[in-house]
Structure 1
Amino acid sequence: MPDIPEQGQPGQPGPYGDPHGWGPHGWGPPGWGPHGWAPPPPPPKPGVIPLAPLGADHVLGGAFATMRRYAKPLFGTAAAAYGLLTVVMTGALLAAYAATREDSRAMYEPGATFSWEHGRPLLMAFGAVWALVLLASLAVNSFIQAACAATLHEAVLGRPTTFRAIWRRAWSRTPTVAAVTVPLAVILLLPVAAFALLLVAFFVTLLTDSAAPFGLIFLLCLLVLPLAAWLYVLFAFAPAAAVLESAGPLTALRRSAHLVRGAWWRTFGISLLAGIIVLIVSLAFRLPLQFAAPEPPAVHPDSDTSEVLFSQLRSQFGLYALLGMIGTLLTQLLATVFLPLVTALLYIDRRIRGEGLARTLAEASRP
């Protein structure tokens, strides 16, 4: 991307000797004016953030401002991608059911017992559906991350953009973003796998009266959790680098590690704060729905089982289900868009601080 140079292309020395384009006290020199000592002028702000080292308020505020000013291309792209994913999932499930309809009937008819003759086609068909949905989800999430970075590029420069332009730019970088997303997903699965092993060790301890497996797995969890957090933050900037620098997968991972060096705790803290904001918004939607949920019908000893089941299902649908679906969709869109924007802004902040990107962006934003 021409407006954000790649590694090895830092900003030119500024007019006051600083290689980042800064004076000794800020953007430009302080000095004596007609009314006495004049403070340094504020940094330029052509878009959603000032072109200066960013504080946590600038990062979070810039993410919210981007979502507000570029809502159509940003949320339109995310909604279209999730709509396409829903179509793929539905089509795959219907195709799997159509291909194994006879086996399903043979397995679930009254008095039927499990047999590999009918179970194998079901496992193969729905295993293929699971693999397809997994790959499609990876592609969709990578596409949305690329769209967020592409939109933020225009938002920082204060330039308008369109749904088509963002779609085209994001689509061209989706394979690379997917390639760097896979190791990030593996890193996130490490603590999940360790926790699953911890549960297995707990049940083994209960059955065998031996605490050795549980103790070893617990120590493993204590090691895996901080290691996974450190690795994830270390490579968190890779999707942004893949889009904004048009970097390859390995180059993007190396760039992320280079930029995070010396700012791990700051990156972790602001990212954690963004996650807490998403959690609070999610709870603000879900808690009122939980309190407003209709009570299930009372069950009596002489009640018919099918009637009770139908009444319980009916009590969970209607307006309550519709509001719950809308709330889940909105919070999912917020998390999917807000968190990548925060990460991309942290990436830009690191380049402003270490590579003089502010001056380059200021020159690129001029008409």
Structure 2
Amino acid sequence: MKDTPGWASPGSAPSDGQEPGASGPADPADRPDPAQQPGQDPQGSKWSKEQPPPAQWSAPTGPPAPGQTPPPPPPGPGWGNRPPSGPNGPGGYGGYGGGWGSGWGGPPPAAKPGVIPLRPLGVGEILDGAVSTMRTYWRTVLGISLTVAVVTQILVILLEGLVFNDASTEALDDPSATLDELTRAMGDAMLSSGVVFLISLVGTIAATALLTTVTSRAVLGKSVTTGEAWRDARPQVAKLFGLIFLLMLIAFGVVAGGTLPGILVALAGSGDGGAALAVLGGLGAGVVALWLMVRFSLASPALMLEKQGIVKSLSRSTKLVRGSWWRVFGIQLLATIIANVVASIVVIPFTFLAAALSGDGFTGFLNSGGDLGWTFLVVSGIGSVIGAMITFPITAGVTVLLYIDQRIRREALDLELARAAGVQDYGSGTPGPTAGG
């Protein structure tokens, strides 16, 4: 066995530079033998003449031999030197602040009791947290999404099949239609779309209320049943409805205020100028409305999780989004695009299938003038239900995780979350093991 300094334990095997039966480690070659004349090589020694300096190595174990000067201590921590290992040593969790290069991997990983680490999050971590919530607690998440989607889609199918299917919209495609016919057709189309939108909005609000509770518990690594989520969200559901309708009223009021001057100019007799002014005013008002909606986008989780009122939740959202408007807007836009693309992959094939099964084919569906059969409504409704099961958890989960991320960045919410999750010694420099990581 090769006697590499610092590896072999004493007595494990005779080394190449030591006779069998001799006790203690062999003397290194750079230490002169008292009985040896200067310039003579020791007989039988197999040590290389080129040895590392004494400060870079030591004998395997045991005290230094008589007459040998103990080696100096190793140099202090510096760039490239490995510090002592261990969970709490300089190379462990608590030693990454000793200087650049004094540790092995920088700061320790943040505690992760649930679907996200308890630190400021990146875009990918927010999206992954929403998907992980759906994957880990799929029974509760998909159960809530499926129930809400089925109820809302049944109401939409019944209204479209029994009430709005007889509405006359052919006049919109008829160049010879009179003004009264066009007005009546536009009114019917707007009424149908408005009612369907309101039903979908109610379903979205209900799903958001329940999924907010599920996602907030998933951050702590705790599961929650549908019944528990409903009991926790029920006191705030009425306020959530009020918040959503207030936001819709604000957006509508801003857009209407922007287009109103153009409409008044058009009514005064200047049709072209009024139309141009209305378009410009509408575009400017749309930008303002978008800015306000993003600014208030975290009001829903603030209302549900902090048990705040409507006005207070709007104020909280404004405070959390301030200085991060583009980041919040970009993440929510990306999540919406991803959710709708995935949902469209499911919904579009069902739409083609529904058109094929309805008897007239897809061409007949395009030329039906809005007269939809029950087969088409039912089959396309099934696709819409599956699509909603995907979009509800992603959009609601991203909104909740954005809210939590902003509070971690501004209010050190991670300390409170760590205590709630039972993470020991979090924030003291020597965090304990992650729970449920």
User: TM-score interval w.r.t. the shorter chain?
Assistant: 0.5 to 0.7
Larger deviation, residues 81-90 vs 224-233: 81-90
CA distance in 2, matches of 1:229, 1:155: 30
- Shift in alpha-carbon separation, 1:142–1:40, aligned structure 2, 3 A: same
Q: Which amino acid aligns with 1:245?
A: E
CA distance in 2, matches of 1:198, 1:67: 47
Question: What does 1:1-367 correspond to in 2, within 5 Å?
Answer: 30-31=96-97, 37-38=103-104, 39-85=106-152, 139-189=202-252, 210-289=271-350, 293-294=355-356, 296=360, 323-366=379-422
CA distance in 2, matches of 1:269, 1:155: 24
Alpha carbons 2:146, 2:385 under 8 Å: kept: no
- Shift in alpha-carbon separation, 1:141–1:325, aligned structure 2, 3 A: closer
TM-score, normalized by length of structure 2? 0.57
CA distance in 2, matches of 1:290, 1:64: 26
Q: Which amino acid aligns with 2:415?
A: R
Q: Give secondary structure in 1 for the equivalent of 2:114.
A: coil
How far did 1:155 drift?
Answer: 0.3
Structure 1 residues not aligned, in runs of 5+: 1-26, 98-126, 300-307
Q: Give secondary structure in 1 for the equivalent of 2:205.
A: helix
Larger deviation, residues 325-334 vs 131-140: 131-140
Structure 2 residues not aligned, in runs of 5+: 1-92, 164-190, 424-437
CA distance in 2, matches of 1:219, 1:32: 59
Alpha carbons 1:198, 1:218 under 8 Å: kept: no
- Shift in alpha-carbon separation, 1:133–1:326, aligned structure 2, 3 A: closer
Alpha carbons 2:114, 2:219 under 8 Å: kept: yes
CA distance in 1, matches of 2:95, 2:380: 55
Alpha carbons 1:73, 1:166 under 8 Å: kept: no
Alpha carbons 1:194, 1:217 under 8 Å: kept: no
Q: Which amino acid aligns with 1:30?
A: Y
- Shift in alpha-carbon separation, 1:297–1:313, aligned structure 2, 3 A: farther
- Shift in alpha-carbon separation, 1:90–1:274, aligned structure 2, 3 A: closer
Q: Deviations over 1:133-165 (max 9, x none)?
A: 887765543322111110011100001211110
Q: Which amino acid aligns with 1:169?
A: D
Alpha carbons 1:260, 1:267 under 8 Å: kept: yes
Q: Deviations over 1:70-95 (max 9, x none)?
A: 2222232233344455677799999x
CA distance in 2, matches of 1:298, 1:222: 35
When the two chains are superposed, the root-mean-square deviation of aligned CA atoms in Å is: 4.3
CA distance in 2, matches of 1:291, 1:84: 23
Alpha carbons 2:258, 2:281 under 8 Å: kept: no
Q: Which amino acid aligns with 1:253?
A: L
Q: Give secondary structure in 2 for the equivalent of 1:158.
A: coil
- Shift in alpha-carbon separation, 1:192–1:335, aligned structure 2, 3 A: farther
Q: % of aligned pairs identical?
A: 32
CA distance in 2, matches of 1:195, 1:71: 44
Q: Give secondary structure in 1 for the equivalent of 2:103.
A: strand
- Shift in alpha-carbon separation, 1:132–1:233, aligned structure 2, 3 A: closer
TM-score, normalized by length of structure 1? 0.67
CA distance in 2, matches of 1:81, 1:62: 22
CA distance in 1, matches of 2:345, 2:255: 26
Alpha carbons 2:350, 2:383 under 8 Å: kept: no
Q: Which amino acid aligns with 2:308?
A: A
Q: Which amino acid aligns with 1:176?
A: K
- Shift in alpha-carbon separation, 1:256–1:158, aligned structure 2, 3 A: same
- With a CA cutoff of 8 Å and minimum separation of 6, indicate the structure with the bigger relative contact order: 1
CA distance in 1, matches of 2:98, 2:256: 63
Q: Which amino acid aligns with 1:264?
A: W
Alpha carbons 1:139, 1:174 under 8 Å: kept: no
- Shift in alpha-carbon separation, 1:252–1:229, aligned structure 2, 3 A: same
CA distance in 1, matches of 2:220, 2:197: 35
How far did 1:273 drift?
Answer: 0.4
Alpha carbons 1:138, 1:178 under 8 Å: kept: no
CA distance in 2, matches of 1:84, 1:287: 21
